A and B are shown apart, each in its own frame.
Chain A
Amino acid sequence: GAGVSQSPRYKVAKRGQDVALRCDPISGHVSLFWYQQALGQGPEFLTYFQNEAQLDKSGLPSDRFFAERPEGSVSTLKIQRTQQEDSAVYLCASSFGSRTDTQYFGPGTRLTVL
């Protein structure tokens, strides 16, 4: 399909391990967003890219979280030295133009840190 895809869909990590989560946005979409959704809560903003430029990373909870989008399409969210509180669903969304355009969400990656 032509929607946003994310991989892996599920990831189990031992505390202290590094993880990398991938997002493939809708082709041609300029803006890309990462959100963290804790169990029973709404998504919370992590970071925003316009093409390859990371314009807002104010939602990243710590310096263990790092995101990149080197060629302005696929993005990777990396979490170093994972902690139990990092367990959540990580959602990626993309929009055609600016950050206030309609965002289309992927299915998410459920991360469980043991």
Chain B
Amino acid sequence: GQQLNQSPQSMFIQEGEDVSMNCTSSSIFNTWLWYKQEPGEGPVLLIALYKAGELTSNGRLTAQFGITRKDSFLNISASIPSDVGIYFCAGHIIQGAQKLVFGQGTRLTINP
């Protein structure tokens, strides 16, 4: 089963608003990744984080790897209609078989 808790499950916002979502886990991760999935497509990587405390931006997207290695957040500034989709956090657990584990997703809906 899933080992990442992602919140919120869904968001309904106005165009231009900022968005924040996060993931937490009881396990320690050595990478945190944020993906976006649109209908009928596979997930597309947005941001990858490799070090505790790392803060990385990709255009209007900013993500951070938590100091405890058990959490991460993704912020989207000044949302636009094409930001609509499902956002997933994912990571490789520091122990074991290094599987990529995904959160349950945050569905973002934007009212123009």
Give me the interface of A with B, judged by CB distance under 8 Å: 4, 33, 40-45, 48, 56, 58-59, 91, 93, 99-100, 102-108
Count how many pairs of residues, one from A and one from B, have CB atoms less than 8 Å apart in the complex.
54
Chain A CB within 10 A, most for which of B43, B88, B97, B102? B43
- Per CB-CB distance, the 9 closest pairs between chain A and chain B, nearest first, are A105-B42, A42-B102, A45-B99, A105-B43, A43-B102, A42-B88, A106-B42, A107-B41, A107-B42
- Which of B2, B40, B41, B42 contacts A44 (CB under 8 A)? B2
B44 touches A56 (CB 8 A): no
- Determine which of B40, B48, B105 lies in contact with A41 in the assembled complex, contact meaning CB atoms within 8 Å: B105
CA distance in complex: A56, B100 (Å): 12
Task: Give the number of chain B interface residues (Cβ < 8 Å).
Answer: 23
Give the CA-CA distance A108 to B2 in the complex, in Å: 20
Q: Are A58 and B102 in contact (CB under 8 A)?
A: no
